[in-house]
A and B are shown apart, each in its own frame.
Chain A
Amino acid sequence: MSFTTILGLLINAVLVSTPPLLLAALGSCFSERSGVVNIGIEGMMTLGAFIGAMTAHYTGNGWVGFFMGGVAGMALGLMHAIACVSFNADQTIAGTAINFIGPGLAIFLSKALFNSSDSPSLTPAQKLPKMFAGRFTPGGFLYNVVETYPAAYLSILLVAVIWFVFFKSRFGMRLRACGEHPKACATLGINVRRVRYVCVLLSGFLAGLGGAFVTLSTVSQFRPSVIVGQGFIAIAAVIFGKFNPQGALIGCLIFGFCNGIKPLVGSSNAISPNLISMIPYVVTLLALILFVGNSRVPAASGKPFAKDE
């Protein structure tokens, strides 16, 4: 294999394995920055993955499925917001509950609708479309890099959009302030609860999109094992990236890159695939220990905001 072919394959692998993590991580940035810990990302992704696959199966349209996956995640986000923002619940507990309800509901519905914990396989036409299909010679560099899911490029573009929202817009300034000092925000007339609701709903929506990307791109069906831990990795990427969208992108790319080289390294069979699978986790930890260090959590993160205090 020539160098460009390998590079092309690698970029392709990164483009497929990064978006689910990245979408969920960007959502987590919203939630965490506004002061709500969302450990339920995993559950939101799993439900999004199922609803996405189910919708695509019935409508035959991958984009509709993708969107509905987001809506399903948002529904769980609404639950989380009601508990954490309206009822001042312990955010970790509510998130843990969502991690039971989301996957439980997904498999439960799959068994009810399809009589199996796996949803039916999607045809290529039912999945997310690829750009420039048939324009390039299969196996070439451009085929691997360009002829892929536009949703993947969109998710990376979203990093820039969210960076702009966070640091250059009024809403972004407010949401960051709500995560640092909600009382001061309330004094200034900012509706802290409303800001947090919006952020937690967005967080659920993006996590749901991330889950749906998995079923609507590579895996082509819902299976109970389809998300396995990606939600938690997204959370880790956000902490790694110090709660910034651009930092989260780097964290997600580490995982995407390591997942990408896995099949390339693993094909030699010299190293146990289990040891190779450990690499992204070890690399993330080492990067934290050596370069990144302390990741400061937004000051009000995890603390409910009660007006009557």
Chain B
Amino acid sequence: MKQKLLGSHLLLTLLSIVIGFLVGAILLLIIGISPGVAYAKLFTSVFSEFKYIIYSMIYASPLIFTGLSVAFSFKTGVFNIGAEGQFVVGSLAALAVGIFVDLPAILHVPLCLIAAALAGAAWSAVVGFLKVKRGINEVLSYIMFNWIAFYFSNYVVNLQAVHKEGGGEASKDILESARLTAPKFLTDMCPYANWGFLLAVACAVLVWYTITKTTLGYQLRAVGHSRTAAEYGGISSNRIFLISMSISGALAGLGGAVQLMGMSGRLSQFAGQEGFGFQGITVALIAGSHPVGCILSGLFYGAMKYGGTKLSLVNVPNEVVNIIMGTIIFFIAIAHVFRKLFQRKQKGGAAA
């Protein structure tokens, strides 16, 4: 039974992906672009060479983290629309430790990661605290905190101690000992290759274990299903909200650290929100909030994002990627209708 349900979720997700590409194709046709050319470019940009696959994994790593963050909060019935801000404060914390603390790599890297996780957790815990103690709607405070983080980051990047002399609108580079750079044979192929993806996979497994195999996970899910029932069973829902929102924030913060320590090495002044948090919502939704599924959907999104950057080479607006992703989640949102249709058919078939 469980296998069947899992299979049908997978099936519906794949169906939604096909519909997403179809809608994208129709729009491309309308504006007079051959979908064949566009999709062939998208596909070859990702799969034609091994190094492109590595690029997709690099693009996927931060998205897996924010996806896990959102998926984790969904389990307790909290909608973490604030992963965006937690991602930013995470990268800021990693930046601070990465620039100002000088340690051997074996200590420096974990310290940066811990700082980022703590910063993200704290950023989200404040929202949880406001929710629990003052009854303030977390969606509202998350949105406010996203923007506060955004401007705070721009403020820090321009501080004299952090700003890079003549480096445009960017911070100094973090020290080499704080980088997550991959071994040389990989960086020879792709200069941005880093350990972020492996960290993301490890975190996904850890999150899966926590949710399904531990008492805490049981309590989280109980509160997510029914707060009153959980309270009746002796679980303090307020405590659980605080814990789950903190862990969710920590995951998003780690995503920020991985992006900084693996890929960019410095923070630039933002012109607009980077969107890692919002894309994480999509990753979590495509994965059906399953932690291991987040790896796959993160890879999918990462590949689409990376392939999308190449679309302008064949004069295709890369926004088609956003439209496809939006259509996919739209159909995932109404997928249960198809499920009912399928089930009805199956029942009919069994009777005959």
Binding site for B on A (CB under 8 A): 39, 79, 83, 87-90, 92-94, 96-101, 103-105, 107-109, 111-112, 224-225, 228-229, 232-233, 235-236, 239-240, 272, 274-275, 277-278, 281-282, 284-285, 288-289, 293-295, 297
Contacts and interface: CB of A to CB of B under 8 A. Distances in A.
Contact of B326 (A100, A224, A288): A100
A111 B322 CA distance: 14
Given A101-B327, A240-B140, A274 B322 contact: no
A229 B273 contact: yes
A29 B136 CA distance: 18
Binding site secondary structure of chain A: helix
A111 B140 contact: no
Nearest to A227: B272
A87 B338 CA distance: 10
A209 B79 CA distance: 28
Contact of A297 (B31, B137, B327): B137
A222 to B, nearest CB: 13
B326 A107 contact: no
B253 to A, nearest CB: 19
B148 interface: yes
Nearest to B133: A289
A236 B137 CA distance: 9
B152 interface: yes
A235 B273 CA distance: 17
Interface of B: 27, 31-32, 79, 81, 130, 134-137, 139-141, 143-148, 151-152, 154-155, 158, 271-273, 278, 281-282, 285, 317, 319-323, 325-330, 332-334, 336-337
Given A87-B334, A105-B319, 7 more contacts: A92-B79, A96-B281, A101-B326, A108-B320, A277-B151, A293-B135, A294-B136
Contacts of A108: 27, 31, 317, 319-320, 323
B147 A281 contact: yes
Contacts of A99: 278, 326
Nearest to B279: A100
B134 to A, nearest CB: 6
Given A100-B326, A108-B319, A112-B317, A272 B155 contact: yes
Contacts of A94: 330, 333-334
Contact of B337 (A87, A93, A233, A240): A87
A111 B317 contact: yes
Contacts of B137: 239, 295, 297
B141 A285 contact: yes
A236 B330 contact: no
Which 6 pairs from chain A and chain B are nearest by CB?
Answer: A100-B326, A104-B322, A294-B135, A101-B326, A97-B330, A112-B31
Contacts of B147: 229, 233, 278, 281
A248 to B, nearest CB: 12
Nearest to B131: A294
A79 B334 CA distance: 11
Given A89-B334, A112-B31, A274-B155, A236 B144 contact: yes
Contacts of A225: 271-272
Given A272-B155, A272-B158, A228 B273 contact: yes
Given A97-B326, A100-B325, A281-B144, A289 B154 contact: no
Nearest to A103: B322
A107 B321 CA distance: 12
Contacts of A272: 155, 158
B348 to A, nearest CB: 19
Which of B134, B147, B333: most chain A Cβ within 10 A? B333
Contacts of B328: 97
Given A83-B334, A229-B273, A272-B155, A100 B136 contact: no
A104 B152 contact: no
Contact of B329 (A97, A224, A293): A97
Contacts of A293: 134-136
A107 B152 contact: no
B103 to A, nearest CB: 30
Nearest to A288: B136
Given A87-B337, A103-B322, A107-B319, A275 B143 contact: no
Contacts of A295: 135-137, 140
B329 A96 contact: yes
